[in-house]
Amino acid sequence: MQEQDYIAANRELWENWTASHLRSAFYDLAGFKAGRNSLLPLEIAEVGEVAGKSLLHLQCHFGQDTLSWARLGATVTGADFSEQAIAAARDLATELHIPASFVCANLYDLPDVLAGEFDLVYTGGGALWWLPDLTRWAAVVAHYLKAGGSFYLHEIHPFPMAFEEIAGELKPTHPYFHAASPLRFETHGSYAGPSDYQGVEYGWAHGLAEIIGALLAAGLRLQFLHESPYAYYQMFPSLVQEGAGRWAMPKHELPLSFSLLATK
């Protein structure tokens, strides 16, 4: 299979996941419609004031986080490769009377269909796994940033992604470092809960040095890198919830997420 085949298979997966995600407790769409902000407090605090700024959300899914930035005053654009997700995002923006633009495109093709530069580019958790090439990803990020603009990423830490919990113990089962050939998984439901669709998921590991190195090579300057013992979902069965969007190992033994800010 070629890269475009893996991306097409993943797109089909997300096209079929979108309907179940809209119904899921994980996304709590009813709460969002009632005014809940879907962004994590950490993200809001680390990004800072967004009122009056233009923001591009890469891999935005059906736009909850994108529209949450809009509720905080940003002028927002969201981009995703799933037609179903983008259609749902546009419907949600219309229903809630939140000004927003949404574009359907594979991330690597986005510069062919979306013009302009932005004060902020944002990517939320669970996005990098789906990308085969971070050099091209970072080039897209840099392409859309204004001079002096900022890129913010809050992601699953790549170290615990190399493990699975088996019989109560974490065991290394997946690679930490990137490989050209993706990992392949049969899917039965998704991270957000049950789904009638059963398909195949392809993903690529990316170590922390690879992520940072790609951004530096694209000409960005790293302002901070923070590692956290908290995951925003129950990554392993043994994790203990310590608040909304805060799951941790009992003794905070491992980093479970990280965030970074880079500027152009």
Q: Which CATH number is 114's domain given?
A: 3.40.50.150
- For residue 261, tell me if it sits in a domain: no
Q: Is residue 66 part of a domain?
A: yes
125 domain-assigned: yes
From 33-37, 210-214, 232-236, 255-259, the region with the lowest mean pLDDT: 232-236
Residue 179 within a domain: yes
- Domain annotation covers residue 183: yes
Instruction: Give pLDDT tens digits for 182-216.
Output: 999 998 878 877 777 788 999 999 999 999 999 99
Domain that holds residue 206: 3-145+152-223
Give the per-residue pLDDT at 144.
98
**262 part of a folded domain:** no
pLDDT at 191: 83
- Crossing angle of helices 134-144 and 208-217, in 10° steps, is 50
User: Does residue 252 belong to any structural domain of this protein?
Assistant: no
Q: Is residue 260 part of a domain?
A: no
Residue 197, pLDDT score? 77
**Residue 68, pLDDT score:** 98
Report the domain count for the chain. Answer: 1
| Mean pLDDT on 223-232 | 96
- pTM, rounded to two decimals: 0.96
